[in-house]
């Protein structure tokens, strides 16, 4: 029996914990529409949607809370200066997305095939950055897996140009 079929569980998550239908759907590995149907079936009232003006106020508060938060818990601050995210940071984010996020367009070619990001890189951008810089990273290079059936880990990755990477592709035109 799936957990979202349990009225008490879905009531706890949606009403008491204030999770969105999307968050509940992610936890129980089903679609948002399935969660919405269960809410209706169990007679759990839907929360009112905020007006656009209210949504913008909420977004602004959250943005200010994140930007103004200082210290080691805020990834955008380093001492008193804000960090400027580099191209390498977005390479790291994209690599994690295609391997770990089932909603990512590229997941079917990576995460679904069992391609993973090693624990060392998945949890620490700094470890990934140190490896990249010590292995010849420049902005014109892309990350490449030496063995295409193995995951992203230090001994299986290299930096090559986009044209070299295209030549290696199994999907040739």
* C-alpha angle 71-75-77 in degrees, rounded to nearest 5: 55
Whether the CB-CB separation of 69 and 75 falls below 8 Å is answered with: no
| pLDDT tens profile 99-146 | 998 988 889 889 889 999 999 999 999 999 999 999 988 888 889 999
40 beta partners:
none
10-residue stretch averages of pLDDT, the chain, 173 residues long:
72 81 82 86 78 63 57 53 68 91 89 92 92 89 90 94 80 53
φ/ψ (deg, to 5) at 84: -95, 120
Whether the CB-CB separation of 122 and 98 falls below 8 Å is answered with: no
């Amino acid at each position: 029996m799936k957990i979202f079929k349990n009225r008490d569980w879905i009531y706890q998550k949606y009403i008491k914990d204030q999770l969105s239908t999307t968050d509940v759907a992610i936890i129980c590995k089903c679609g948002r529409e399935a969660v919405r149907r269960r809410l209706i079936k169990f007679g759990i009232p839907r929360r009112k949607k905020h007006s656009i003006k209210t949504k913008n106020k909420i977004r602004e508060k959250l943005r200010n809370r994140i930007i103004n938060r200082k210290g080691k818990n805020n990834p955008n601050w380093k001492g008193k200066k804000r960090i400027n995210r580099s191209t390498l940071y977005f390479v790291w984010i994209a690599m994690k997305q295609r391997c770990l996020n089932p909603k990512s367009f590229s997941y079917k070619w990576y995460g679904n095939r069992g391609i993973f990001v090693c624990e060392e890189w998945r949890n620490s951008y700094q470890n990934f950055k140190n490896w990249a810089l010590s292995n010849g990273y420049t902005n014109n290079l892309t990350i490449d897996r030496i063995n295409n059936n193995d995951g992203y880990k230090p001994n299986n990755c290299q930096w090559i140009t986009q044209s070299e990477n295209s030549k290696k592709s199994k999907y040739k035109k």
